[in-house]
A and B are shown apart, each in its own frame.
Chain A
Amino acid sequence: MEHLVPLTRFGDIGNGIIWILAFFAVLVGLSGIVNLFRPIRALQRPTGYLLVLLAVVFLAGFAWIGWFHHQIYVRLPLALPANLAQFLNSHLQMMNQGADFGLPLYDAAAPPRYVLPLWLENEKYYFWFMCYALLALPAHFRMQHPRLRAALHILLAVQVGILFGAANPFADPLPNFFGAVEPWFTGNLSPAQRFGLFMQLYPKMIFYYNAEYMWFHPPLLFLSYACITVTFVTSVFMLVRREQEVEKMGYDHARLGFFLLTLGMLLGYPWALKAWRPNWWWDPKICSSIMMWAIYSTYLHTRLYAHKPFMWYFSSFLGILCFLAMIFTFISSFFFPGEHTFV
């Protein structure tokens, strides 16, 4: 695919970005470990600058992913020969009859192109952790609480570590996507084979890659995951000591996270109806998402009574449980089969 898309250039510059991120993250993580056990006032200000740098590098990497996706849009159209296009359109017209959500007809003047969202495959980790970095930054400057800051820093370093070691989006860019489309662009296909492959790629392009919901449903959820992570940190501290400021910060992130989670889940609903019809309620990912939403909702309800000693601890326990439910929900895509598998 190198002759079609600048994979090497994307990988080289992207890997440079990941190395810079890893370097800053090591420093932030070390400062976090030191501050967690023995807070050092002198470390607070430089760590703040490091966090700003980390956020800037994260954003630069994200822009780089955007550039790469633009290259895919420009260079990889699913173009068909004229005779096949005619045959395809008659086939599509027949398929669309009586269907609630049909496939658009092929337009030879403007062949379908991939408008890939910026959170596919390993990129989703990048986006998720970048959201956390962007949330940890104001949280750092808001709270003059060295240990809480330290916990936020350590979690950020862990996330960059995951990105660096196991989920680098620049090392092998979009392997599933390229694995699926490569035969189209590199294979010597007969007309029948090309038609068959088009009918595999086109529905996935329309209902998954190019779906407008893809631009709202996943990013809202990843943003909410980042909020839940901050709430998790504050909840752990709430278990140790009753500090109103910590609780307030946890609640501020919790309500933003709940708002984004609810909106994200709601926006997945019409998409699911369109792509899967109504037969998906017991899909494992849906189950775990509902469970997470239920815990989150309970957390916000119990928080109304946080002034009662029991409810203070109960709501902090729920804040922690919510984070664990989020991890479980995310990991469930890999272990449980269903419509969301490996998404």
Chain B
Amino acid sequence: MLQDMQNGKKAAGRAGALDYWLILATAGVLFAVSVICVYGMFYYKLALVEQLPPAEKAAYLNTMNGVIAPFIIGLILLLGICVPKRLLPASWLYRFAAALTVSAGVLSWRLDITAALTAVLAASLILQLVVLAMAVAGSRRLHFEKSGYWVRVGSSLIHLGLILFVLDLLLYRHLVLHLFLFWVTTGASVLGMVFCFYASAVAGIFRRRENTQP
């Protein structure tokens, strides 16, 4: 029994440490994205991109897309690892992260980078939908840094919104579908933030409703 408890504590500690490092890694990638954005701003001004002919302006946009792409890929991979951390124990998560990275690498080598990223995002989307369903059902098997029903549902919705947003960017040529998905994204993110940031108020509203029902 004691051994089981110690093993449980160790596993929780490992998961917590992984969560901590994932947050630091996300912060690092976001910092790199910020630096590139600032570089882009100054370059835009100094190279007078605004006044360039359309073809050269498009070339600039492509170059910048190329510069930022590895970091966006990194962010998507981190997202792909962050999503199943709610479902899997730490030891499985390492294996999953390795498998995801290798699969993305193989897909980008055999097909192209867009296909690999779409696959990572599609896998993340499916897993996130599972996480959301479990969070809504109040499952205790999910691993969250914070407890509380609405915090978990909210956090799941925010991450679902983020995955959908990135996935939706790949569909920008299909305007109607693109905008429809965009509004779904916005709805999920807004609801998620309200549930996550104001969990106790939301819980209070639902409790009052339950109490007033005959």
Chain A neighbourhood of B41, CB < 8 A: 284, 287-288, 332, 336
- Total A-B residue contacts, Cβ distance less than 8 Å: 90
Main secondary structure of the interface of B (DSSP, over half): helix
Interface size on B, residues (CB 8 A): 35
Does residue A71 face the partner (Cβ distance < 8 Å to B)? Answer: no
Cross-chain contact B182 with A304 (CB below 8 angstroms): no
A305 adjacent to B23 (CB under 8 Å): yes
- Check A178 for interface membership: any CB of B closer than 8 A: no
Kindly list chain A residues whose C-beta atoms are within 8 Å of the C-beta of B185.
266
Contact call A305/B61, Cβ cutoff below 8 A = no
Alpha-carbon gap, A291 to B38, bound state (A) = 8
B206 to chain A, nearest CB (A): 20
A259 adjacent to chain B (CB < 8 Å): yes
Nearest-CB residue, chain B, relative to A284 = B41
> Once bound together, how far apart are the Cα atoms of A312 and B112, in whole Å?
42
Closest approach, in angstroms, between the C-beta of B18 and any C-beta of chain A?
13
Q: Do B145 and A338 have beta carbons less than 8 Å apart?
A: no
Closest-CB distance, A258 to chain B (whole angstroms): 7
Complex alpha-carbon distance, A291 and B58, angstroms: 22
> A287-B40, A295-B30 are contacts. A282–B145 as well, Cβ < 8 Å?
no
Contacting A at CB under 8 A, from B53-101, are: 58, 60-61, 64-65
Using CB atoms, name the residue of chain A closest to B190. A263
Please tell me if B110 contacts chain A, counting CB pairs below 8 Å: no
> Given the complex, which residues of B lie within 8 Å of A70, measured CB to CB?
none
Expressed in whole angstroms, the Cα–Cα distance for A283 and B58 within the complex equals 12
> Which B residue's beta carbon lies closest to that of A296?
B30
Q: Does chain A have a CB within 8 A of B175?
A: yes
Minimum C-beta distance from B148 to chain A (A): 13
Instruction: Confirm or deny: B189 has a beta carbon within 8 angstroms of a beta carbon on chain A.
Output: yes
Where the two chains meet, the residues of B that have a C-beta atom closer than 8 Å to any C-beta of A are: 20, 23, 26-27, 30-31, 33-34, 37-38, 40-41, 44-45, 48-50, 58, 60-61, 64-65, 145-146, 172, 175, 179, 182, 185-186, 189-190, 193-194, 197
Q: Which 6 residue pairs across A and B have the least CB separation, nearest first?
A: A287-B37, A291-B34, A294-B30, A284-B41, A255-B197, A337-B50
- Beyond A255-B197, A282-B40: 17 further Cβ-contacts under 8 Å? A263-B193, A266-B182, A266-B189, A278-B172, A284-B40, A284-B44, A284-B45, A287-B38, A287-B41, A287-B44, A288-B37, A290-B34, A290-B37, A301-B27, A302-B27, A305-B20, A337-B44
Could you list which residues of chain A lie within 8 angstroms of chain B, going by C-beta atoms? 100, 255-256, 258-259, 262-263, 266-267, 269-270, 273, 278-279, 281-284, 287-288, 290-291, 294-295, 297-298, 301-302, 304-305, 325, 332, 335-338
Q: Could you show 16 A-B contacts with beta carbons less than 8 Å apart?
A: A258-B197, A259-B197, A266-B189, A273-B175, A279-B61, A281-B61, A281-B65, A284-B41, A284-B45, A287-B44, A290-B33, A290-B34, A302-B27, A304-B145, A332-B41, A336-B41
